[in-house]
Amino acid sequence: MDYLLTEEQKMARDMARKFADNELKPIADRLDREHTHSPEVLQALGEMGMMGVAVPEEYGGGGMDYVSYAMVVAEISRGCGGTGTIVAAHNSLYCYPVLKFGSEEQKKKYLVPAASGKSVGCYALTEANAGSDAGSVRTSAKLDGDSWVINGEKKFITNGNIADYCVFAATTDRSKGYKGISQFVCDLRETPGFKVGRVEEKMGINASGTAELVFEDARIPKENILGEPGSGLRQMLQTLDSGRISIAAQALGIGKAVLEEAIEYAKTREQFGRPISEFQGIQWKMADMATQLEAAELLIWRAAVLEDRGLPFEKEAAMAKMYASDVAMHAAVEGVQILGGYGYCKDYPMERHMRDVKITQIYEGTNEIQRLVIARNLLGKRK
């Protein structure tokens, strides 16, 4: 499908692909096993402009488009699903809202270090009772002189254990319901009253940390609100729409890794005197996997093109995220089946791919929520 891409887009993809093959694949198993990330990898990605792919160069980013960004996330995730998670959350959930909703001063202070890869960002929306129901945020922000006083706990925050900066949602006027929710940006290292809570033990994407963020009478400067008070839910929904493209790309990348490894194994594994790749049952599995993954890739590109052109893309992003994650999960299950007993053992990456890809059906809006978003758009219902 190269004929659909510009030379700049091909260059971004090829650079990420080479990095994934040479730098990520050799260490992906260790990162998963040790439940850790590689600071050196993040530094290298920052130097290549991949920690701020779609952020303008004036703010420290790579100055690329969203099609390029989607391909970068897919290639990095093909090399290591957990590292792909770090990059996707940092780009889509932290850099995006600061770029879109931040003031010029906020961009210079909080975006430039993150987009250039010198710092890591996170996005804190989810709480014990607020996930799919984003309007149920209970974390509070009360103005006290020149500071906002923050109280609340955020759950399941990707990059929360390593983040320097954070965009988070809090209610500034509980009497207004979801219209009283605002978003803020802060330097976690300079926020008294903040601490990292529990770091989750997860099924997969173990190279990325998922943590609680605890705010107990934490104070941030008055000017750290993003946009106007009460505009937080609108900002959140727009951020998540964009982020879903990157989750679709992450799923696609893991799915491609599954297919590559299934093909390689099937060509070398012999049963009944010939490679199992010669059996029709195996061929059909791989044909279905390849077709579904290419269809997912086209859905992702369509959503990214719409975003690049400033056109509505909510439905298309939901379709891409839902379909790509479902077919990648199916591919992973079939990949394990093709490898048989070896697919169930940690000696091969296949079982890690199955663990890693499952989360793409869940976070940044479960696939059940994506179907509701798609249906709402089809039926012409408003948010």
Distance CA 383, CA 50 (A): 32
Please, are residues 65 and 6 in contact by the beta-carbon 8 Å criterion? no
**pLDDT at res. 371:** 97
Using one digit for the tens of pLDDT, what is the confidence trace for 337-373? Answer: 999 999 999 999 999 999 999 999 999 999 999 999 9
Q: What CATH architecture is 233-379?
A: Up-down Bundle (1.20)
**pLDDT at res. 178:** 86
Annotated active-site residue 364? The verdict is yes
Task: Provide, for the chain, the percentages of residues in helix, strand and coil under a 3-state DSSP scheme, each rounded to the nearest 5.
Answer: 60, 15, 25
Cβ-based neighbours of 106, under 8 Å, separated by 6 or more: 98, 185, 223, 224, 226
Which three-class secondary structure state does DSSP give residue 207?
A: coil
0.75 surpassed by pTM: yes
Q: What percent of the chain has pLDDT over 90?
A: 94
Domain 122-230 belongs in CATH node 3.40.190.10: no
153, 216, 364, 368: which is the annotated catalytic residue?
A: 364
Cβ-based neighbours of 52, under 8 Å, separated by 6 or more: 46, 59, 60, 61, 62, 91, 95, 111, 114, 115, 116, 117
Local confidence band at 62 (pLDDT 50, 70, 90 cut-offs): very high
Distance CA 360, CA 176 (A): 33
pLDDT at 383 over 60: no
Tokens of 329: 């999960």
Average pLDDT (149-159) is 97
Radius of gyration of the chain (CA): 21
**pLDDT at res. 133:** 79
User: Where are the chain's structural domains?
Assistant: 2-119, 122-230, 233-379
Strand runs labelled E in 203-340: 210-221, 225-226, 270-271, 274-275
Local confidence band at 134 (pLDDT 50, 70, 90 cut-offs): confident
Beta strands at 147-158 and 140-144: parallel, antiparallel or unpaired: antiparallel
Please, are residues 266 and 275 in contact by the beta-carbon 8 Å criterion? yes
- Give the N- to C-terminal CA distance of the chain in Å, as an integer: 35
Local confidence band at 269 (pLDDT 50, 70, 90 cut-offs): very high
Is the pLDDT higher at 75 or at 129?
Answer: 75
Local confidence band at 311 (pLDDT 50, 70, 90 cut-offs): very high
Using one digit for the tens of pLDDT, what is the confidence trace for 158-210? Answer: 999 999 999 999 999 988 988 999 999 999 999 999 999 999 999 999 999 99
| Summary mean pLDDT of the chain | 96
Domain 2-119 belongs in CATH node 1.10.540.10: yes
Q: Write out the DSSP string of 245-260.
A: HHHHHHHHHHHHHHHH
Please name the residue ranges forming H helices in 102-216: 104-106, 112-115
Using one digit for the tens of pLDDT, what is the confidence trace for 201-249? Answer: 999 999 999 999 999 999 999 999 999 999 999 999 999 999 999 999 9
Is the pLDDT higher at 3 or at 110?
Answer: 110
Using one digit for the tens of pLDDT, what is the confidence trace for 248-264? Answer: 999 999 999 999 999 99
Local confidence band at 382 (pLDDT 50, 70, 90 cut-offs): low
Residue 173 identity: D
Q: Which of 369, 373, 324 is nearest to 88 (CA)?
A: 324
**pLDDT at res. 1:** 66
